[in-house]
Amino acid sequence: MGIYEKLRDLIPTLADDGSKEAAQQWLDIIGSASEMDALLQNPAFRKLLDQMRGDFTTRVLQLVAKDPELSAMRLMFVRTLGLKGAEEQISKSVASLVE
């Protein structure tokens, strides 16, 4: 028996102090995670997600270039990381916002 089934069977025995609602939310999260896993197996969805990630990164970099404060923050970030690989590190940071 998996965790989903165990948790589902446990819900009726829980007290009405928010425990049932919390358990139900965990069940919903487990269900959503398995749906997302199925979506990520779909090559078309993965391609679309990668395109969205790329578009987001491009747009953020454009906004940073236009804003003096964001440009200064980017420059401090580049100096902190060093020039080599800074663009890649920034892209990873931006991508982490999407993931």
Position 81 scores a pLDDT of 66
Position 19 scores a pLDDT of 85
**Domain limits of the chain?**
3-40, 43-98
Cα radius of gyration rounded to whole Å, the chain: 21
Position 51 scores a pLDDT of 93
Position 57 scores a pLDDT of 86
Position 82 scores a pLDDT of 67
Position 99 scores a pLDDT of 63
Position 83 scores a pLDDT of 64
- Tell me the per-residue pLDDT of 49-96, one tens digit each, with 9 for 90 and over: 889 988 988 898 898 889 999 888 888 877 776 666 667 777 777 777
Average pLDDT, the chain: 83
**Cα–Cα distance for residue pair 19/14, rounded to 1 Å:** 6
Alpha-helical segments (H) within 41-85: 43-66, 68-81
Contact assessment for residue 27 and residue 7, using Cβ atoms and an 8 Å cutoff: yes
